[in-house]
Amino acid sequence: MNRRDILRRTAAAGLLATPAAGLLAGCATGGGGGDRDAETYKGTKSEQNPLGVKEDAPLEVVIFNGGFGEEYAKAHEAMYKEKYPKAEINHSSTQEINKTLQPRFVDGTPPDVVNNSGAGQIDFNGLVSQNAIADLGELLNAPSLDIPGKTVKETLLPGAVEVGSYDGKFLVLNYTYTAYGIWHSAKLFGDRGWQYAKTWDEHIALCRQIKAAGIAPWTYAGKHPRYMSWPLIATAVKLGGPSVAMAIDNLEPNAWKSDAMKTAADAWHQIVKDKFILDGSPGLDHVQSQTAWCQGKAAFISCGSWLESEQKKVTPEGFNMIIQPTPSLGSGDKLPYEAIRGTAGEPFMVPAKAKNLAGGLEYFRTMLSLKGAQDFTRKVSSLTIVAGSTDGVELPFGLSTVVKALDASGSNGFNWVYNNYYRKLERELVDAACGEFFSGRIGPAEFLDQCQRGADSIAQDSSIKKYKRTA
Amino acid sequence: MRHGKYPLILTFLVPPLLLYLVFVVSPYLQAFQISTTDWLGYSAEADPVGLANFETLLHDGRVWNALKNNALLLAVVPVLTIGLGLFFATMLNMGGRKGRAGVAGVRGTAVYRMVYFFPQVLSVVIIALLWKEVYHPNSGLLNGTLRAVGLPAPTWLGDPRTAFWCVLAVMVWANVGFYVVLFGAAMSAIPRDIYEAVLLDGASRWTTLRRVTIPLLWDTVQVAWIYLAIAALDGFILIQQMTNGGPNFSSDVIGLRMYETAFGSESKFGYASAIGVVLFFLTLSVAVLALRAARRDRIEYS
């Protein structure tokens, strides 16, 4: 608080209270906007225009201005405009999606396309349960813009549709394809003659060797310790099969305490017990820990495939980061070592009350064209969910290892979505448990207990809509 | 003159009152109304649920945990800040005594005054980022110093035993400068002859502070107390930036709980408004209590 706040507060002499209470309510003015529904833009459907776009209807696009910036979106908008020259495109970008757009959702006048991402993301559970998002099913069945003979759905990588589906309805287009794994530097390992270990026992032996060489084997984002839940759950899924993750997603009783999760938590406890983690890691945030890793203070870090572009500015020349799957626990694993968590990320949606709903879907079709996807990969060094869109595009070193890892993983790839269904469960509850576990304050049994208590609290909360998946 | 009075008063009073009603009172009233619904924030529909949100709140362990931390802030921050503020202000205004008659500050008063005021010039977010780096477990200033003198280097913000206190310290640090200036200004309004008389009577610095300065500054101290009490019930920005309530909710505060409930990991605006309403009454009671408890007779210099 600064003195201006103090003065302002006392100026409100009669009512001494914090401004936050008022802030919450300030958004709620307006009320229903149902009568505006009649004004939606509709064109005639044809082979050239399968979604029925009205060619002169304006299109409003709101982009999250984060790691990917907004230039890529401007390129997509230009492609849209090329097809519909009469359409006026209103582009804006923000880092605070929720605060910027909440009044417009309440008012019933949301934009046509929203890139709902970042720390200010609107909780999807709330959006879906309030029927605020349009069904994208029509888009999936429309023919691809530039891949002949295929529907949009047939051009997507496996799993891309499932991630954005709630109760069987495809609502959220997750545009990028992200792999989650364990990263190391090819240079560091090459210089020291180390080999990435494929089994857990070898991994522990390697950690011992690394530690003896005076380098911390691991570091992690202590302020966002959920980053470490990813390799831990991945280890369990590889041991027990994808049903381990499905049970967690479906909030099944004791899903967090399945045998596979227990074995995985016990295994990972080893790196805590043996002090394989860089001192002070619990006090680092993701940027600080990733920077320590880039400086060679630690050998391994858990992260998604955005790591390379996030670290671009501080990564030394020739560092050459490589993503690898989590090591196998043993020969009893249901999935092979190569299996890696791959999932679609970076969510886009068309609000149900968007005026130019058809235009929003058509904009997605533009994004999902081969041309749109390749342009995105070139601009922001990230993969998209469009299959084959990296062909002929030169990728940076780290991203090329991501492509290789995903290829090797193939149909063994797995994923979980409880973080999409119940944002709070991962962001707050599992996060806190990971913090305790990886700083060594609690053991594996207590860790799983705490996660399970978090999942149970979500399951018992009747104000949170529940989702189930079957595949 | 009498005829012209009311139009004048009305012209001056009505616009600010209207603004106040529209932008302050009405949102508050609306918050009360929203707190009795299950509004999820992204549609115009909300069902009234009566006092169910408040009932949930009563059993919400996280909310109680956050309130406990606010209570700690309330108990510690005003005392420390006012104590330090008074001490520094005294030193700057009447601390220097060595071989000199009259009342003057310690040597270099002007420089100190400026340095103390620095944190006030910075935005709170900058302060949070600055201290986040100071507390950096490996390359931070604090641990660097500790290591240099051979002491153990804790993880500060990464340890539930210390994280909260680290942020509390920053809160005090960020606030002290303002109160040094505030108290300093009030002190300079105290007639010098009182101090000269005290000096002649041979009073020590401590006695002067306790018996003369503080009683004469009481009004100012009281105001400071209320400001700081309100600040202690907030603490949101520093906590959100430095620890985000962690590790394991150990540094959570009620403002952050409200934010997380509405904008963060959930979108329960009805429930968040209920937390806001509770916070409103808490702040109000604290302010009233502080005013009551500190009431004393006003001293006027003639």
| Dihedral angle sign, alpha carbons of residues B148, B154, B156, B158 | positive
Name the closest residue on chain A to residue B224, using Cα atoms: A6
Cβ separation A428–B24 shorter than 8 A: no
Return phi, psi of residue A16, to 5°: -90, 105
H, E, C per residue of chain A: CCHHHHHHHHHCCCCCCCHHHHHHHHCCCCCCCHHHHHHCCCCCCCCCCCCCCCCCCCEEEEEECCCCCCHHHHHHHHHHHHHCCCCCEEEEEECCHHHHHHHHHHHCCCCCEECCCCCCCCCHHHHHHCCCECCCHHHHHCECCCCCCCECHHHECCCHHHHCEECCEECCEEEEEEEEEEEEEHHHHHHHCCCCCCEHHHHHHHHHHHHHCCCEEECCCCCCHHHHHHHHHHHHHHHHCCHHHHHHHCCCCCHHHCHHHHHHHHHHHHHHHCCCECCCHHHCCHHHHHHHHHCCCEEEEEEECCHHHHCCCCCCCCCCEEEECCCECCCCCCCCCCCCEEEEEEEEECECCCCCHHHHHHHHHHHCCHHHHHHHHHHHCCEECECCCCCCCCCCHHHHHHHHHHHHHHHHCECCCHHHHCHHHHHHHHHHHHHHHHCCCCCHHHHHHHHHHHHHHHHHCCCCCCCCCCC
Cβ separation A122–B267 shorter than 8 A: yes
User: Among A42-56, A270-284, B164-178, whose mean pLDDT is lowest?
Assistant: A42-56
Top pLDDT among B250 and B198 is at B250
* Residue A67, burial from CB neighbour count under 10 angstroms (0-12, 13-18, 19+): middle
pLDDT in tens, A180-210: 999 999 999 999 999 999 999 999 999 999 9
CA distance A431 to chain B (A): 8
Cβ separation B263–A281 shorter than 8 A: no
Please tell me if residue A281 touches chain B, with a CB cutoff of 8 Å. Answer: yes
Q: Which residues sit opposite B151 in a β-bridge? A: none
CATH of domain B62-293: 1.10.3720.10
- Domain ranges (residues) in chain B: 1-29, 62-293
Mean pLDDT of A371-386: 92
CA distance A449 to chain B (A): 14
Question: Which of A2, A130, A288 is nearest residue B136 as measured by Cβ atoms?
Answer: A288
- Exposure on the CB side of residue A63, measured as CA atoms within 13 A: 21
pTM of the model: 0.86
Cβ separation B136–A283 shorter than 8 A: yes
pLDDT in tens, A288-334: 999 999 999 999 999 999 899 889 889 999 999 999 999 999 889 99
Please tell me if residue A7 touches chain B, with a CB cutoff of 8 Å. Answer: no
Contact between residue B31 and residue B262 where contact means Cβ atoms under 8 Å apart: no
Examine the pLDDT at B256 and tell me if it is beyond 80. Answer: yes
User: Among A13-17, A200-204, B166-170, B216-220, whose mean pLDDT is lowest?
Assistant: A13-17
Cβ separation B156–A297 shorter than 8 A: no
User: Among A14-28, A76-90, A172-186, A216-230, whose mean pLDDT is lowest?
Assistant: A14-28
Cβ separation B137–A108 shorter than 8 A: no
Please tell me if residue A428 touches chain B, with a CB cutoff of 8 Å. Answer: yes
pLDDT in tens, B187-208: 888 888 888 888 888 888 788 8
CA distances (Å), origin A244, targets A248, B85, B153, B201: 7, 58, 40, 82
Name the closest residue on chain B to residue A129, using Cα atoms: B40
The domains of chain A, with CATH numbers, are 41-178+344-398 (3.40.190.10), 179-341+415-460 (3.40.190.10)
Examine the pLDDT at A337 and tell me if it is beyond 60. Answer: yes
CA distance A386 to chain B (A): 30
User: A-chain residues within 8 Å CB-CB of B175?
Assistant: 1
**Rounded distance, CA B109 to CA B118, Å?**
15
CA distance B131 to chain A (A): 12
Name the closest residue on chain B to residue A423, using Cα atoms: B265
pLDDT in tens, A46-105: 888 899 999 899 999 999 998 788 999 999 999 999 999 999 999 999 988 988 999 899
**Rounded distance, CA B243 to CA A196, Å?**
34
| Dihedral angle sign, alpha carbons of residues A122, A125, A126, A128 | positive
Which of B167, B265, B278 should be substituted to probe chain A, the one whose Cβ sees the most A Cβ atoms within 10 Å?
B265
Question: Which of A22, A132, A441 is nearest residue B24 as measured by Cβ atoms?
Answer: A22
Please tell me if residue A282 touches chain B, with a CB cutoff of 8 Å. Answer: yes
Cβ separation B27–A99 shorter than 8 A: no
Give residue B45's pLDDT.
Answer: 82
CA distance B276 to chain A (A): 5
Examine the pLDDT at B272 and tell me if it is beyond 70. Answer: yes
Mean pLDDT of A460-471: 87
Question: Which of A:71-110 have CB within 8 Å of B?
Answer: 98-99, 102, 105-108
Q: Among A310, A300, A294, which Cα is nearest to A396's?
A: A310
Give residue B73's pLDDT.
Answer: 95
Cβ separation B155–A16 shorter than 8 A: no
Give residue B197's pLDDT.
Answer: 86
Examine the pLDDT at A20 and tell me if it is beyond 60. Answer: no
Mean pLDDT of A338-364: 94
Give residue A247's pLDDT.
Answer: 96
Question: Which of B25, B155, B234 is nearest residue A283 as measured by Cβ atoms?
Answer: B155
**Rounded distance, CA A332 to CA A328, Å?**
9
Mean pLDDT of A422-431: 93
Give residue B302's pLDDT.
Answer: 55
Question: Which of A:371-410 have CB within 8 Å of B?
Answer: none
| Predicted-assembly ipTM surpassing the 0.85 threshold | no
Cβ separation B43–A105 shorter than 8 A: yes
Give residue B97's pLDDT.
Answer: 58
* Residue A426, burial from CB neighbour count under 10 angstroms (0-12, 13-18, 19+): buried
Listed ranges A3-12, A19-28, A403-412; the one with the highest mean pLDDT? A403-412
User: A-chain residues within 8 Å CB-CB of B136?
Assistant: 280, 283-284, 288
Mean pLDDT of A427-451: 95
**Rounded distance, CA B211 to CA A12, Å?**
34
How many contacts does A have with B, using Cβ atoms within 8 A?
Answer: 204
Please tell me if residue A25 touches chain B, with a CB cutoff of 8 Å. Answer: yes
Cβ separation B246–A131 shorter than 8 A: no
CA distance A350 to chain B (A): 14
Q: How many residues does chain B have?
A: 302
Mean pLDDT of B283-301: 77
Neighbours of A74 (CB within 10 A): 16
Name the closest residue on chain B to residue A18, using Cα atoms: B280
Helices A370-380 and A71-83: crossing angle in degrees, nearest 10, is 160
Please tell me if residue A130 touches chain B, with a CB cutoff of 8 Å. Answer: yes
Give residue B2's pLDDT.
Answer: 59
**Rounded distance, CA A447 to CA A450, Å?**
5
CA distance A359 to chain B (A): 22
User: A-chain residues within 8 Å CB-CB of B38?
Assistant: 463
User: B-chain residues within 8 Å CB-CB of A17?
Assistant: 28, 279-280, 283-284
What region does A303 belong to: left with phi over 0, alpha with psi -120 to 50, or beta?
beta
